[in-house]
A and B are shown apart, each in its own frame.
Chain A
């Protein structure tokens, strides 16, 4: 499905954020990336859909290396990867429906999108998804009128509008309260399971990661220091990932 080989990324030459990362993502299941702030979790997720261009290494997606794609081929790859963001990143001034249809821009010409001429099948799909995420009556509400939890539901629906082959999430619950966080994780992982899409989530909340993921990647200092099931994540491992032990109650 997705194979990352010897991936490195330096924003400033000589100080790599990601150091020689190699992982393979199965076609199903939830993979959670945990680790301290500034260790490159976000960069790793953004390298996969090339919002950040890797410095070295290979990203093999559906059988070919996409690490240095540009232009149209790059956009075609991005169409197949949905992404959910920490701060939702909805276009605030657009309605919920318009935000959902953003997920179809990769298949729509600018002239058509300017006139809001979308494929009727896409619009129907959008209404079904809105119903799924529990926002059926909000189609014409502007995104800036929604609460955090509602916005993230729209964010998830937008990502699924792409009918993606892979779902990426960059700290999708870090701006939400604990109850809403669980609901969002349930919704996202449930919809991914239903549509048989693998999910890669980077997150701060270790308990939430253990609860929803079937595989945990522990990152520290730009490297992967743990790769295995949630059960294997004991106190010693957490010390290795986060350093220190005073925070472990």
Chain B
């Protein structure tokens, strides 16, 4: 018995296509960097500008606190209303999209609709709604609702598809109607996950509601954008601090909601 045949083979040698892959990546990176004019002097100059910018942000200026508060309140209202609408719309849609409850003729179109809602970033959807219904909170609420349906619709559907069918079978065996089976067989199994998802989506809406204003869809984002354009960097900083505070409050609330509904 000889092992002579194996000595010629070097272990751990990268196959040729892996080498080619790495080479291609480096060539592309070099091309992209040169193409985008990423040069060292520009970077140094940018750092200088950044320092000036931060200098002008400090200290934060809360003089126009009424404007700030109005924008924040509008963002909060948009987030809450859009989350509520998103949850209410996602509940029936997820039942219709669940492949263990509905035939394919029903699930496919509903799945397409949910996927469509998730295809675009809320800001892009907001631009469309601003064009459709005009500037203001209505466009923002519509955009955030669409985003919520895209996200919650998918998560709710997946939760429903993972339930135990044995429990459903027992409920059906009692002569319960479809709606009764949903109420006593499906909802108890998915309720707690739905609450978790909804709290998470409300948190996401809170963040997005501060952003859609940049394209004119209401909320603090509009105020922020205007302050940027007028070089009121100290006011910009005040707005950023307020947004951070809002997100932190949202985080605490989310934790509390999950704790109350735990298990």
Interface residue ranges, A against B (CB under 8 Å): 49, 51, 75-83, 85, 87, 89-94, 98, 102-106, 108-110, 113-114, 155, 158, 162
Contacts and interface: CB of A to CB of B under 8 A. Distances in A.
B183 A110 contact: yes
A107 to B, nearest CB: 8
A78 B170 CA distance: 11
A113 B180 contact: yes
B180 A78 contact: no
Contacts of A162: 174-175
A81 B172 CA distance: 11
A40 B122 CA distance: 54
B175 A76 contact: yes
A93 B188 contact: yes
Contact of A90 (B167, B173, B179, B182): B167
Interface of B: 164, 166-167, 169-177, 179-185, 188-189, 191-192
A227 B160 CA distance: 43
Contacts of A76: 175
A92 B173 contact: no
Name the prevailing secondary structure of the B interface residues.
helix
B177 A110 contact: yes
A102 B184 contact: yes
A49 B173 contact: yes
Contact of B174 (A98, A103, A109): A103
Contact of A91 (B170, B175, B182, B192): B170
Residue from A78, A89, A155 having most chain B Cβ neighbours under 10 A: A89
B215 to A, nearest CB: 40
A209 B184 CA distance: 33
A121 B175 CA distance: 19
B180 to A, nearest CB: 4
10 contacts: A76-B175, A77-B175, A92-B164, A92-B189, A93-B188, A102-B176, A105-B184, A110-B179, A113-B183, A113-B184
A93 B185 CA distance: 9
A162 B183 CA distance: 18
B173 A91 contact: no
A78 B166 CA distance: 17
